[in-house]
Structure 1
Amino acid sequence: MKLRSPLPKLSGPTTWINGEVKREQLIGDKATLVHFWSVSCYYCKESMSDINKIRDQYKDILNVISVHMPRTDEDTYLANIKEMAKRLNITQPILVDNEMIITNRFDNQIVPAYYLFDEYGVLRHYQAGESGMRLLENRIKRILNIY
C-alpha cells in the first residue's frame, strides 16, 4: 500500500473478535492504527505489549484495529487466535482474515506490520518488522498533534 492511499474496506473477514468495526466508523473523528499480527509470529507477541500501551494511552484520540493474518494452516484455528488474544491482552477489535481478503487489500506481506491513517482515512505511515516502536509512536504523536 502506498502512502496517501485510502483506508481499504474491512468487509470480508472470516470473523471478528472483540466487536466488529466498519471502515466508515474509523473516518472523521480519530486517527487509526491497523496492526497486522499472527499467532505463530514471535515478534508479534513481543511487540503486543507496546501496541497495548499505545492503545490504552491514546484511547480517546486513536482507533486501534488488529488484523490476524495467518502464516500457516494452524494459524487459522479460531480457538488458538482467541486464546492468544486473551493471553496477550488484545482487547481492541480483531479482524480474523483467514481468507487473506483484507491482507490482500492492504497488499501486506509481513507480520508484524503497522498502518497509520489520519482522521480522514489517508495512510500517513507504514512500517513492518520487529523493531521501530519508538518511530511508530513518534509518527502517531505527529498525526495526533501531540508534542
Structure 2
Amino acid sequence: MRLGQEIPEFVTSCEWLNSRSLLTEDIRKVSKPCCFHFWAISCGLCKQAMPRFKDIYDKHKHNVQFISVHTPLSEKDKNMDEIGNLVEEYHLKQPIAVDHHEEISEAFHVKFVPAYYLFDDLGKLRHLQRGKTNVNLLEKNIQRLI
C-alpha cells in the first residue's frame, strides 16, 4: 500500500474478538481516523511493542478507531487459546480479527509484523510502519490527525 490509498476492501470469514464481525464498509462509516495494527503471537517484536501500543490505544480510543489483526506467521500461531491468553495478558479491548486465512493481511499486503496502517477520517492512508520500528512515531502521527 502507498500513502493516500483508501482502506482496502476486504471480506473475511475470520473470527473476531471484542467485537462483532467488521467489514470495510463498517469501518468507513466511522468519521474518525482508523489504525490497523497487524501482529502475531509468535512475533517477539510484536510482544515487545504491545504495552506501548496498548498505552496509545487507551489514550486515543475515543478519537481513533483501532482494529487489531492477528496474522499467523506459522501453523502454531493459529492456536486460539494462545491468542486469547495474549489478549488477556495485555488487556486488549479493541476489535481483533483473527485472520487465519490471511484475507485482511492480503488486502493490506502485509509482509512483516508488527505493522501499523493509519488512515485519516476520509479513509486515506496517512502513515505506515512495518517491522522493527518505534511505536512512538505512530502516536505522533495519530496526534497530527486528531
TM-score normalised by length of structure 1: 0.92
Quick one: which of 32, 35, 38 aligns to 1:36?
38
Post-superposition shift, 1:118?
A: 0.4
Tell me the amino acid that sits aligned with residue 6 of structure 1: E
Post-superposition shift, 1:10?
A: 4.3
Task: Could you list the structure 1 runs, at least 4 aligned residues long, displaced by more than 4 angstroms after superposition.
Answer: none
Q: Which residue of 1 is the match for residue 90 of structure 2?
A: 88
Post-superposition shift, 1:11?
A: 2.5
Q: How does 1:115-126 map to 2 (within 5 A)?
A: 115-126=117-128
Match of 2:37, SS? strand
Q: In the TM superposition, what whole-angstrom CA distance separates every residue of 1:67-116 from its partner, at most 9, and x where no partner exists?
A: 00000101011121111111121111100111111111000100000000
2:143 paired with 1:136: no
Post-superposition shift, 1:66?
A: 0.3
Post-superposition shift, 1:143?
A: 1.3
Question: Paired residues, what number?
Answer: 144
TM-score normalised by length of structure 2: 0.92
Q: Which residue of 2 is the match for residue 55 of structure 1?
A: 57
Cα distance in 1 between the residues matched to 2:141 and 2:13:
28
Structure 2 gaps of 5+ residues are: none
Taking only aligned residues, the RMSD between alpha carbons, in angstroms, comes to: 1.3
Q: Is the 8 A contact 2:35 2:66 kept in 1?
A: yes
Tell me the amino acid that sits aligned with residue 15 of structure 1: E
Structure 1 gaps of 5+ residues are: none
Q: Which residue of 1 is the match for residue 26 of structure 2?
A: 25
Q: Which residue of 2 is the match for residue 12 of structure 1?
A: 12
Q: Is the 8 A contact 1:47 1:130 kept in 2?
A: no
Residues 32-41 or 126-135, more deviating = 126-135
Tell me the amino acid that sits aligned with residue 24 of structure 1: E
Cα distance in 1 between the residues matched to 2:23 and 2:121:
14
Q: Is the 8 A contact 1:26 1:119 kept in 2?
A: no
Q: Is the 8 A contact 2:39 2:69 kept in 1?
A: yes
Q: Is the 8 A contact 2:40 2:71 kept in 1?
A: yes
Percent identity of the aligned residues? 35
